[in-house]
Chain A
């Protein structure tokens, strides 16, 4: 099963029923694959157990030596791309490329693009795509990429995006691949910024090279490429028109079934998520959320056809909301994606992104624990997510509710994005490492927010016990003077209310109260139990059990 299959609500499948081809999903094997041998994986090179594993004879340049399997791989991939056979491309991209990387190129690079070009008619676009994969693999090798490789990879992305932006790419590529391009593009940008910021350990040669390449992985370049992909693809208009039903995009997962190409459109779409991420890495949460606005994260969309994209979207969306003190929005987002990962984890185990998913999963639990400590909205949390929280985070949340700053620090540090300083250093000043600067700033501001809220959780716990209590009495319970209590109560109100984009006031408060002169009146916070929800869940579960039972054949 390809993991693309699970990125959707079940209800959407019926809508897709009328399609003649099921590109990009692992369903049934397609019958009209064309006149090739049935399947790339059945090729003799594979059956014979990697004959080529024998290392090249001495004297061969490893970069230009092309084992037979690789030759076959590029020939087939090239063919499938020309034929717009998304299903096969996806299989080769997700399956074979990984398999070959693991078995043959665990410590070494793939053969250079110059070496394979002859097998693919020196096709310009294919070579760019191959190099994109080549560098992605190179970045994942145990040794970090060299500065030269970073520069070349940047050039390759520029060339690739230029070609795509000029409309010269007539292909259908799997969403997974297109997402990986945007994802990797930003990852390499972030990695470059981190690398550049560690000035102390640079050799003189590296420093003089760095001085020359201020265009490479330049923040303006990165942002403008993403913006250009969004603008050129007209994706925002497409998503807008889709609401009126005049165009289809989401319904076909972004693919084009009329002989067209999905590349620019879908890249533009993923670039929206890309902008959210880059802005968050820069600490610009408002602009990040604004960039994401064209995508409705409460509805199924192309972003949840690729799990990596869905996780990234929700992680940065949730994080930005947390930093904006919109805890309820953050909690909702984390809850929904954590539940989704919980339900579908088993299908992703073999996916190359599995470890990444698990890591983000853990980080989002950290963030959720933070949000719930600052804004205890337990009723928004689904049962499974709640169980996990209780199991792993009970102590930590207790400490945070007691305003233990070190605990907030620990979770934030573990779960925050890898913030970056986007500007090049001043090489004429003494060389220092500044790779931690951006993170330290965000952490400090977050902790000062936490400090401002430190009296709130004890106010909460007291107010839950009373329907009315006088200011004097509560102040003496809390061991603070009356003016301090009045300020804390105002702070509670301020911190639990956010102003929406339309200017209206939204409450995130779990305990509601008002003050009448000297008396605090607490609103009845006893939860009205949501029976409807509960019954419907159990009806559905019961129905599933019945269906399962009916399928059991007793021998």
Chain B
């Protein structure tokens, strides 16, 4: 069994998880760590999965309130598949109840890029989401991530819908991105504004080419015995 380190400095919860991945005694620490992640705007998938695992082993100790927080945090981790990873560990009968049904719907909208429906649904469920600071910003950056993979030039209206910001606030938002993320504005063909996003490998796929050319060394090495 892994022992605790010799020196008596207090160890972090992440270290605790690493040393005792299968120890039910750390459950209370993990629960308060979820609260800490919410308050401090930090995130640890490993610690949260470890907690869900302990709940899975001892369903009697399961705390719906904590699981809700974990799932909201996992939504904020998109585009990483953390939400699914958590759901794989949560008993199905629980998933059939609120607030988990709502959270699953929200995740579904995000996974399928239905941002408008997402924001509508989110508005109806502020009580679950607003308890976790930074939620809106996290979802906005996920939306921007997906848009940047897809668009070189993005109609302003699509952006507005995706991040749920309109009018003057949107002008301000775009202005900020112009300063920090290399965005620019153009006039679109239909007359509206389009946002020009910086190029990357995914919205400019040509730049990925050529990588696959050439023969790997291992293959050439196989020829050596033949040649000698």
Contacts and interface: CB of A to CB of B under 8 A. Distances in A.
Nearest to A487: B113
Given A442-B88, A486-B158, A528-B213, 12 more contacts: A220-B24, A223-B22, A282-B89, A284-B89, A286-B85, A423-B59, A444-B92, A452-B112, A491-B112, A507-B208, A523-B205, A530-B212
Greatest chain A CB density within 10 A among B45, B91, B95 is at B91
Contact of A445 (B84, B155, B190): B84
B52 to A, nearest CB: 8
B80 interface: yes
B111 interface: yes
A286 B49 contact: yes
B5 interface: no
A518 B53 contact: no
Interface string A471-515: 000000000000000111111011101110000010100001111
Contacts of B213: 528
A323 B89 CA distance: 13
A382 interface: no
Nearest to A440: B92
Interface stretch (B35-43, B167-175, B176-184, B220-228): B220-228
The CB with the most chain A CB atoms within 10 A, among B22, B50, B56, is that of B22
B206 A523 contact: yes
Contact of A514 (B23, B152, B155): B152
B32 interface: no
Interface of A: 219-220, 223-224, 227-228, 231, 282-287, 290, 323-325, 422-423, 437, 440-442, 444-445, 448-449, 452, 486-491, 493-495, 497-499, 505, 507, 512-518, 523-524, 528, 530, 532-533, 536, 539-540, 543
B57 A539 contact: no
Contacts of B149: 493-494, 497, 505
Contacts of A494: 79, 111, 113, 146, 149
Contact of B53 (A282, A444, A533): A282
29 contacts: A220-B57, A282-B56, A283-B89, A285-B85, A285-B88, A287-B49, A287-B50, A324-B81, A422-B56, A423-B58, A440-B92, A441-B88, A441-B92, A452-B111, A491-B111, A494-B146, A494-B149, A495-B111, A513-B205, A514-B204, A515-B203, A516-B151, A516-B153, A517-B188, A518-B189, A523-B205, A528-B212, A533-B219, A539-B223
Contacts of B50: 287
Interface of B: 1-2, 21-24, 45-46, 49-50, 53, 56-59, 79-81, 84-85, 87-89, 91-92, 95, 108, 111-114, 146-147, 149-155, 158, 188-190, 194, 201-206, 208-209, 212-215, 219-220, 222-223, 226
B222 A517 contact: no
A290 B22 CA distance: 14
A284 B53 contact: yes
B79 A497 contact: yes
Contacts of B209: 523-524
Given A219-B57, A514-B152, A284 B147 contact: no
Given A285-B88, A441-B92, A423 B219 contact: no
A73 to B, nearest CB: 37
